[in-house]
Amino acid sequence: MTSAAVQVRAIRGMADIDEGLAALAIADPRLSRVIEAAGPVPLRLSEPGFSGLASIIVSQMVSRASADAIWGRITAAGPVTAATYLAHEPDIVARFGLSRAKASTLLSLAAAIEAGHFDLDAIPTLEAKQALQLMTALPGIGPWTAEVYLMFCGGHADLFPVGDVALQAAVAHAFGLAERPAPRALAEMAQGWQPWRAVAARLFWAYYGACMRRNVTPIA
């Protein structure tokens, strides 16, 4: 993987979340009542690397409780690194409870990292478009997974995973829409939340949790 790192706006602490929320309330006054209803908006940052991306892959399309249970079995088996994952015997991996697709994705990811074909640690330093292209070229890594990794492990401030069903539902509920906005419509709406779209996403996940009493944030 050859690429040049660039300076990207980053979320590193709660001060950045607070700054983003204040800017969003000014840019889109409708968000002021969303901020009030959502309550605290968590930072939720993890270290970049295999473990961070693996936890996101595990959480995709399953409940938070199921993801936590699977992740608990994976971490109980030893340090979550590319090398240790490759070293697990097939019967150990089978006990994790992963779907066949997710098990294959993690195996391919670990192999690419260990072979030196993919530098996951460097990905967060890249401009978002390039980082997303590199990540989604990997087997089993789709746009949602790549975007969430850049947001929560890389601290990218200006991404909004428009394919996330919970975000679609939260926006529809908050704005009184008759149905969930399609990804394209949500992307157009989110343009007005630049350059803090990742804070807007955190806000709407928090809003969903507060209003629907269900934690759907894709990382613990």
User: In this structure, what DSSP letter does residue 212 have?
Assistant: H
186: Cβ contacts below 8 Å, ≥ 6 apart: 160, 162, 167, 168, 171
Q: pLDDT digits over 60-100, tens only? A: 888 888 999 999 999 999 999 999 999 999 999 999 999 99
pLDDT for position 5: 44
Is the peptide bond prior to 195 cis by the omega test (within 30 degrees of 0)? yes
Phi-psi region of 140 (alpha: psi -120 to 50; beta: other; left: phi over 0): left
Residue that finishes a domain, picked among 105, 125, 152:
152
Q: Does residue 169 lie in a domain region?
A: yes
**Token pair for residue 56?**
């996101």
Residue that finishes a domain, picked among 152, 178, 196:
152
H or E element in which residue 174 lies? helix 165-175
CA geometry: angle at 57 spanning 194 and 98, to 5°?
160
Query: Which residue type, as a one-letter code, is found at position 73?
Result: R
Burial class (CB in 10 A: 0-12, 13-18, 19+), 165: exposed
Mean pLDDT on 46-73: 91
Say yes or no: 182 and 111 in one domain: no
Nearest to 58 by CA among 12, 11, 109: 109
Specify the CATH number for the domain of residue 200: 1.10.1670.40
C-alpha 197: how far from chain center: 13
Q: Does residue 6 lie in a domain region?
A: no
Q: pLDDT digits over 112-133, tens only? A: 999 999 998 889 889 999 999 9
Say yes or no: 146 and 175 in one domain: no
Kindly calculate the radius of gyration of the chain based on its CA atoms and give it in whole angstroms: 18
Specify the CATH number for the domain of residue 129: 1.10.340.30
Say yes or no: 164 and 78 in one domain: no
Confidence of residue 6 (pLDDT cuts 50, 70, 90): very low
pLDDT for position 15: 97
Residue that finishes a domain, picked among 114, 129, 152:
152
**Token pair for residue 120?**
């996951």
Say yes or no: 163 and 207 in one domain: yes
pLDDT tops 80 at residue 1: no
- Show the domain range for 38: 14-44+158-212
Rounded Cα distance, 70 and 205, in Å: 22
**Helices then strands, each counted (H, E), the chain:** 12, 0
Say yes or no: 36 and 54 in one domain: no
pLDDT for position 8: 55
Q: Does residue 32 lie in a domain region?
A: yes
Say yes or no: 166 and 148 in one domain: no
Q: Give the count of domains, the chain.
A: 2
pLDDT for position 4: 46
